[in-house]
Amino acid sequence: MKPLGPIPLGFETIDGQLAVGGHTAIALAEQAGTTPLFVYSRAMLERRVADLRAAMPARLGINYAIKANPFAPVLQLMSGLVDGFDIASGGELAIAQAAGIDPARISFAGPGKRDTELEAAIAAGVTLNVESAGELRRAFAIGERLGVTPKLALRVNPDFELRGSGMKMGGGAKPFGIDQQEIPALATELIAAGAEWRGLHIFTGSQSLDTGAIIEAQANVLTLADQLAQAIGAAVPKLNMGGGFGVPYFANDTPVDLGAIGAALHERFADLPESLAETDLCIELGRYLVGEAGVYLTRILDRKVSHGETYLVTDGGLHHQLAASGNFGTVVRRNYPLAIANRFTAQPDEEVNVVGCLCTPLDRLADKAHLPRSDVGDIVAVFCAGAYGATASPSAFLGQGPAAEMLV
């Protein structure tokens, strides 16, 4: 037997079934008219942002990095909950604009921005988090050509990184941001060129469950921002402090301690250096805001035994939930939290492998999982599906096409 990850808090049970927003898994599949489908919980999204607000200093803005989940109804809901939005492509700009998000609330990071993307962002009044000297000069030229003053922040590649983070995006040689040593000269050039100076973006990593490491990275970010401001000789209007709060996916993972992170920030904010006294401070989170609020529902198509092992074959798989299959940034495959949705309260009484419908041995959703006895037609729930699921999986693979999505 292999353990399953922890099921996030906030899901409901109705008649022994998993339910979201007052609807059972079977009712949700009926409403969608199809499986597989992603279901996102409005109440859990609202709760997550409320918990963050309660723990963090009021002064700290919360941005949503939309690449985690750009589903339009989720963006519209988040629009009323968070302060700003981070995008990472011109496509995401179009998605955010279509969802009615004010471009003045959007900042645009990403190491390879086409001229057409820079143009669309500058014309709309989006803040660019500039990733290189070359990009800075392209932004100047495009602003001039359009007759629009570009709003420019510099993305810093800091010498430190977020310890224990799943994906390292700072420290040492990186394609992201501008080495911290080069920031003062480029900021001076930006201000002299007449662009609107929007400050600094310092992103240090992603998917960290190490509360101490997050506190340390945030302290280092504030110290570095102060040093840079002094070297630039100008105040920093805005400081995006990055994010990196992780979500527990696997057995023995423990959630980050929001209270401790908030308490440390309260202390730091009470004692900010003069260069940051007036600065608009924010963090940017993707996965932490949406990851646990989503569940992927997939129906069992077949039940078979091979050499003594039982396989539940579902109509979903890695083409929608690449991360759950263990093929997205993990070395050793471990089980995500998973359940038989329409037998949610039943006792586990058999060991099964849950696989997807793709003709590849990579398509696994759970190995040697201890689950209640289930049959063809039952619905499997894969939890922690709210972030980097639908849009971060190869849905065209094997001609499968996308899953349905619902916000309830």
Ligand X SMILES: *Cc1c(COP(=O)(O)O)cnc(C)c1O
Report the interface residues with ligand X, using CB under 6 A: 65, 67-68, 86, 88, 109, 203, 206-207, 243, 284-288, 387
Q: Which residues pair with 351 in a beta bridge?
A: 370
CA–CA separation, 58 vs 280, rounded Å?
A: 11
Q: Of 67 and 113, which CB lies nearer to ligand X in the complex structure?
A: 67
Q: What is the closest distance, in whole angstroms, from the C-beta atom of residue 104 to ligand X in the complex?
A: 19
What is the rounded CA–CA span in Å between residue 181 and residue 112?
21
- Measured from the CB of residue 369, what is the shortest distance to ligand X in angstroms? 26
| CB-CB contact of 68 with 323 (8 Å) | no
C-alpha 301/C-alpha 355 separation (Å) is 10
Give whichever of 206 and 335 is closer to ligand X, judged by the CB atom. Answer: 206
Shortest Cβ 328–ligand X spacing (Å): 12
Residue nearer to ligand X on the CB measure, 88 or 338? 88
Cα separation, 335 vs 369, whole angstroms: 8
Residue 106 main-chain phi, psi, to 5 deg: -110, 140
Q: Measured between alpha carbons, how far is 224 from 239 in angstroms, rounded to an integer?
A: 11
Active site residue 282: no
For ligand X, which residue has the nearest CB?
A: 286
Q: Which of 282, 357, 359, 384 is catalytic?
A: 359
Q: How far is the CB of 63 from ligand X (least distance, A)?
A: 8
**Which residue stretches of 5-132 are H helix?**
25-32, 42-55, 72-79, 90-98, 115-124
Task: Give least dist CB 386 to ligand X, A.
Answer: 11
Closest alpha carbon to 321 in 396, 397, 382, 230: 382
By C-beta, is 119 or 131 nearer to ligand X?
131
Rounded CA separation 169/334 (Å): 24
Contact 204, 217 (CB under 8 A): yes
- Cβ proximity to ligand X: between 85 and 344 the closer is 85
Q: Which residues are catalytic?
A: 359
